[in-house]
Amino acid sequence: MHELGTINYVIDTVEDLCVENSLTQVGSVTLEVGEVSGIIPQFLEEYWLYAREKTKFLKEAELKIEPIEAITYCENCQKTYPTMKYAKICPYCGSGQTYLLRGNEYIIKEIEAM
């Protein structure tokens, strides 16, 4: 249940920010989600609608989801390439000595007050 943990984290973080900044209601939260994070946006949206009911500042808040493209780096030829297309094998040199640069994370990008 990746998505439930993600939503709880986002709600806790945003509610703390509301207290710190004296905001009363949040209009929307923009969340960037990595392509290979294993998080399914559709599930995020479903949990969001359920979880926001129990919040103080997010009852009306909309969740906006933006993808982060996954990028892999090849140690052998030092090039980068899109992970979703080629996975662990470098399309330039065929090496398997690669690692993920980004695309495994989620980031709260923007919070809009009402």
> Interface with Zn ion by CB under 5 A: which residues?
74, 76-77, 90, 92-93, 95
Which residue's CB is nearer to Zn ion, number 31 or number 74? 74
Task: Please list, in sequence order, all residues whose beta carbon lies within 8 angstroms of the beta carbon of residue 103, skipping any fewer than 6 positions away.
Answer: 34, 35, 36, 37, 68, 69, 70, 71, 83
**Closest distance to Zn ion from the beta carbon of 81 (Å):** 8
**Closest distance to Zn ion from the beta carbon of 42 (Å):** 34
Which residue's CB is nearer to Zn ion, number 8 or number 76? 76
**Closest distance to Zn ion from the beta carbon of 9 (Å):** 35
Which residue's CB is nearer to Zn ion, number 27 or number 94? 94
